[in-house]
A and B are shown apart, each in its own frame.
Chain A
Amino acid sequence: MAVSTTRPMRPPATSRRIDVVVNGQRYARDVAARRTLAELLREDLGLIGTKVGCNRAECGSCTVVMDGRAVFACSVLAVEVDGRSIRTVEGLESAAGLHPLQAAFIEHDAVQCGICIPGMLMSLTALLDANPSPDEGDVREAVGGNLCRCGTYPNTVTAALAAARTLRERGGTAP
């Protein structure tokens, strides 16, 4: 592989200024180059709803929505979210009340120990934002990377389909 030598190599920046919108609020922060989005959210912004179960993009607990797409916050670097918009579980509730997904998770008991739930909710938020009329297969696919050892999956599917119905009845907008 040819390496360009016309410009001098700069030592890697140990930290960088980022500008990010989280749950509608804008934050400017200096972040270390190696810091993950999960660490930024949990430790710097105090948003503990995002959980870390494996720290290597396998369990899905840390799922958040980045510019409309579900991503594993443990495997996105904080410097990568500069200029982007992030939504976490704390951003689901609004002045009008719980998000229909949250209400449906309670009603259909899609919650047991609860540790995987924020990730489940964010995977489904991304799904419903992109596809207001998912079928059962779409739901299972959307949470296929969210491990729940308590075994809530049957209720996850019921709750997600119920929430989708609620959202459609309300004209497709979350509160």
Chain B
Amino acid sequence: MSDSVPASRLPVEGEVPPALGRELTVIGRSVDRRDALEKVTGRAAYSSDMTLPGMLHAKILRSPHAHARIRRIDVSKAEALPGVRAILTKDNTKDWSTYWYMIPQPAFPEAIAYPGQEVAVVAADTVDIARRAVELIEVDYEVLPAALTPRDALKPGALPVPILDVEKPRDGNVQHPIYHVTRGDVARGLADADVVVEERFQLPTQYHVDIQTRCTLAHWDGARLTVYESSQGVWNVKRELARSLGLDEDAVRVVVKYMGGGFGSKAGAQRVVHYAARLSMLTGRPVKLELTRPEEFLSHPRRYAAEVTLRLGATRDGTLTAVDADVLLDLGSGSLYAGRYPLFLHQIWELYRCPNASVHVLAVYTNTPPTGPARGVLDPIASFCMEATMDELAARLGMDPVALRLQNYSHWADEAQQLPYSSKRLDECIASVTRAIGWERRQALAASNGGGKRRGIGMACYCLERSGYAPFSAKADVIVRPDGGVELRAGIVDIGAGQVTMLPMLAAEELGIDPERIAIHYGDTDGTHYAPSSHASRITVEMGPATIQAASIVRRRLLAVVAPHLGVAPERLVAANGRITVRDAPERGLSFEEACRLLPEEIRATGSRGPNPEGVVFRSFGAHAVEVEVDAQTGEVAVTRFVSSHDIGRPINPKLVASQQYGAVLMGLGYALYEEAEIDRKTGVLLNGDVHQYRTPTALDTPPIEISNIEGEDPYYPYSAKPVGEAPLIGVMPAIRNAIRHALGAGINELPMSPARVIDARRRSEAPHAG
């Protein structure tokens, strides 16, 4: 890849920043994480580490029942306890809604929709008093039959789940409208096929398991609300709180300097934020509300569970003739992110060329906790089903799985309309992972299998749509001062992905200075414009263009001031490596500080993200290849090698990109092999709501992960940098599944691929007529 930057097509409001016309000096450097020093010294204060004078502590009373009507709540004994300052229940908060993604939900409903739902919140002088007061609240429940699975919820006579998003249209327990999209004629495509394979899949929920439990410290000073939060977006929380509490947006300040893991579950204002804020407004004192680990499992919006039937039709040479997907999606007691079902399409509808396709999603409410975005959202579900079925089809056709994928490789986002991608290098990713894993060893491996340890190699491809979302109004400010000071203001949260390290690198490249010279003001709604939440891989693609535009304007204004002093036109000046020099005469110039001293006053510019252009489709792609060793007796799976190739465009900071990729792969590894909620089938109560029994990967489970990313230009992204935070998770589960299938000769269509399921697959492969 050339180091010179091509003409940019950055989606910004107003003038597109011109190309730098020089080699990059900052982008592509593995700069150390900006906030790492505070984090390794223990100085970083997360919301749970903060206290304020006079602070009260809040605790939540939760329903033990999955489905119930509340007949009566008696708080008199709790109120009488010395040290209790305020209690919120449905009785004193009528018509109060909390907001999530700006969707209203009753703060305390009349009817309980899931075990663990909030019934009351107490603020008291100490945690102990608050806890004791919660125990003293008497609730009379009318317990109702609960629908704990979508199939139960669909049965005739099933009671309607009293869902949280009360405004969403529904028919019984089915969310409306039902999502069904088609292309071509699937019945015809299946009829034309020489081979049809049909696979059924069962995918469980996945919990985020953020290591910092949700914690808010809210302070109403009589005029203004300040909230110290553990949330992925300060601006989302500000707007949702203002709406919920009937305050002007100016009266709400939200601060998040550090947050201990989110992965989608803290994308907006959570229940605890609203409760703490309201209690502070009631008592006039700061209120801290921190969830315990068991509460974290009970109530946060976890990943959707799904049952999927997928049919693929193909001609004998492996050309797809039909893709037919039927999805039964478990929304829990609130979808919180519903309506994003097009996310199912990327793997199923778009990843491979096929004229006839159908995706049908029946989304059903159940008496289980709410669901919501989790790293990759619905794409991992779709990917597992599609990529597993592709391998089953390859087996049926006697084709190599990679050859089948290349046979159906799609160069267009929409072939009929010749709709192009901004860039797509999936073919290079496939070549990269298969070369690195030694794909040609597959046949020899399969032939040697049969003993106690069986080895297999598998792969999977993925596709992710993340290119910014409405309102497309992300803004960033860059300020340069006569004393040489440079400041970037960005209303973002660093959720651990390195956002606060990456954005100053973009501004530094434009200004031709070291990123360390730039101060960044972030994680605070005061002093910043709107920025999206750090979710949906949005920050690079939305804040990146805004930051580059702002820095570019500032640079050109600085050069205009400097130019007369050097006796040349501003267009002949170059800013790089801390100096401003005349192009082709580098001896004529001055340092960045000297240039700043020429400024009569500070220069300040605001950059704005604009909407995505029409006529081009934005996707990230990638492929994984995996080698496993399966113990045929115990069913244990050891991933012995993992190769990940992401279509990255250009990495802004390769070290941070690798960290994102490791993290995505490991979260996928847990989903693939270990993580499983055990739910009591009678009561709906989660039996393993702790981090010992709900098993996430540890350092001891971590396989060797090799990264072999593909680079190339994409003028729509900042310096061609494409998103990486979520995408690599998507293909992890099917890649491991396909490697296990190769080792055993039989596939597993349920997650996690636990030892019991592996042994079951081995038995199926040994049964007569196994196929």
Interface SS majority for chain B: loop
Instruction: Answer whether residue A167 sits at the interface, using C-beta atoms and an 8 A cutoff.
Output: no
**Inter-chain contacts of A55 with B (CB < 8 A):** 292-293
How many angstroms from the CA of A49 to the CA of B44 in the assembled complex? Answer: 7
The digit string for B275-314, where 1 denotes a CB below 8 A from any CB of A, is 0000000000000000011000000000000000000000
Inter-subunit contact A54/B667 (CB<8 Å): no
Q: How far apart are B698's CB and chain A's nearest CB, in angstroms? A: 5
Residue of A59, A102, A115, A147 touching B40 (CB-CB under 8 A) = A102
How many angstroms from the CA of A146 to the CA of B210 in the assembled complex? Answer: 13
**Inter-chain contacts of B235 with A (CB < 8 A):** none
Inter-subunit contact B211/A106 (CB<8 Å): no
* Interface stretch (choices B259-267, B381-389, B551-559, B755-763): B259-267
How many angstroms from the CA of A114 to the CA of B259 in the assembled complex? Answer: 8
Q: Among residues 701 to 748 in chain B, which have CB atoms less than 8 Å away from a CB atom of chain A?
A: 702, 705
Inter-subunit contact B213/A53 (CB<8 Å): yes
CB-CB nearest in chain A for B41: A93
Instruction: Answer whether residue A173 sits at the interface, using C-beta atoms and an 8 A cutoff.
Output: no
Instruction: Answer whether residue B496 sits at the interface, using C-beta atoms and an 8 A cutoff.
Output: yes
* Interface stretch (choices B354-362, B465-473, B688-696): B688-696
Instruction: Answer whether residue A56 sits at the interface, using C-beta atoms and an 8 A cutoff.
Output: yes
Instruction: Answer whether residue A36 sits at the interface, using C-beta atoms and an 8 A cutoff.
Output: no
Known: A54-B691, A115-B261, A147-B698. A89 touches B705 (CB 8 A): no
Inter-subunit contact B261/A150 (CB<8 Å): yes
Q: Among residues 13 to 60 in chain B, which have CB atoms less than 8 Å away from a CB atom of chain A?
A: 30, 32-33, 35-46, 48-49
Known: A112-B497, A152-B659. A105 touches B699 (CB 8 A): no
Q: Which of A48, A144, A146 has the most CB of B within 10 A?
A: A48
**Inter-chain contacts of A150 with B (CB < 8 A):** 261, 496, 659, 663
Inter-subunit contact B698/A144 (CB<8 Å): yes
Inter-subunit contact B293/A56 (CB<8 Å): yes
Inter-subunit contact B211/A154 (CB<8 Å): no
Residue of B42, B209, B210 touching A89 (CB-CB under 8 A) = B42
Inter-subunit contact A140/B261 (CB<8 Å): no
Inter-subunit contact B41/A107 (CB<8 Å): no
Q: How far apart are B666's CB and chain A's nearest CB, in angstroms? A: 4
**Inter-chain contacts of B114 with A (CB < 8 A):** none
* Interface stretch (choices A3-11, A13-21, A65-73, A116-124): A116-124
How many angstroms from the CA of A115 to the CA of B42 in the assembled complex? Answer: 9
The count of chain A contact residues (Cβ–Cβ below 8 Å) is: 52
**Inter-chain contacts of B40 with A (CB < 8 A):** 89, 92, 98, 102, 105-106, 111, 114, 117, 121
How many angstroms from the CA of A156 to the CA of B698 in the assembled complex? Answer: 11
Instruction: Answer whether residue B495 sits at the interface, using C-beta atoms and an 8 A cutoff.
Output: yes
Inter-subunit contact A113/B495 (CB<8 Å): yes
How many angstroms from the CA of A61 to the CA of B260 in the assembled complex? Answer: 11
Q: How far apart are A115's CB and chain B's nearest CB, in angstroms? A: 3
**Inter-chain contacts of B292 with A (CB < 8 A):** 55
Instruction: Answer whether residue B658 sits at the interface, using C-beta atoms and an 8 A cutoff.
Output: yes
**Inter-chain contacts of A109 with B (CB < 8 A):** 30, 32-33, 36, 655-656, 658-659
CB-CB nearest in chain B for A159: B40
How many angstroms from the CA of A54 to the CA of B33 in the assembled complex? Answer: 27
Known: A102-B40, A113-B495. A140 touches B691 (CB 8 A): no
Residue of A49, A58, A115 touching B692 (CB-CB under 8 A) = A58
Known: A56-B690, A58-B691, A113-B496. A155 touches B210 (CB 8 A): no
Instruction: Answer whether residue B662 sits at the interface, using C-beta atoms and an 8 A cutoff.
Output: yes
Known: A151-B663, A154-B705. A115 touches B33 (CB 8 A): no
Instruction: Answer whether residue B349 sits at the interface, using C-beta atoms and an 8 A cutoff.
Output: no
**Inter-chain contacts of B498 with A (CB < 8 A):** 112
Known: A113-B259, A148-B211, A153-B702. A47 touches B42 (CB 8 A): yes
Q: How far apart are B221's CB and chain A's nearest CB, in angstroms? A: 24
How many angstroms from the CA of A59 to the CA of B696 in the assembled complex? Answer: 10
CB-CB nearest in chain A for B666: A151
List 5 tightest A-B contacts by C-beta distance, closest first.
A49-B42, A115-B260, A113-B496, A114-B39, A151-B663
User: What are 29 A-B residue pairs whose CB atoms fall within 8 Å in the complex?
Assistant: A48-B42, A49-B42, A51-B260, A53-B293, A56-B293, A88-B42, A90-B42, A92-B41, A105-B40, A113-B258, A113-B495, A114-B40, A114-B44, A114-B258, A115-B46, A116-B260, A143-B699, A145-B698, A149-B261, A150-B496, A150-B659, A151-B659, A151-B663, A151-B697, A153-B666, A153-B698, A153-B702, A154-B662, A155-B662
B residues sitting closer than 8 Å to A (CB atoms) are 30, 32-33, 35-46, 48-49, 208-213, 258-263, 292-293, 495-498, 655-656, 658-659, 662-667, 690-692, 696-700, 702, 705
Q: Using A59-B211, A109-B655, A149-B667 as known contacts, list a sample of 5 further A-B pairs with CB atoms less than 8 Å apart, ordered by residue number in A.
A: A51-B260, A58-B691, A114-B40, A139-B699, A144-B699
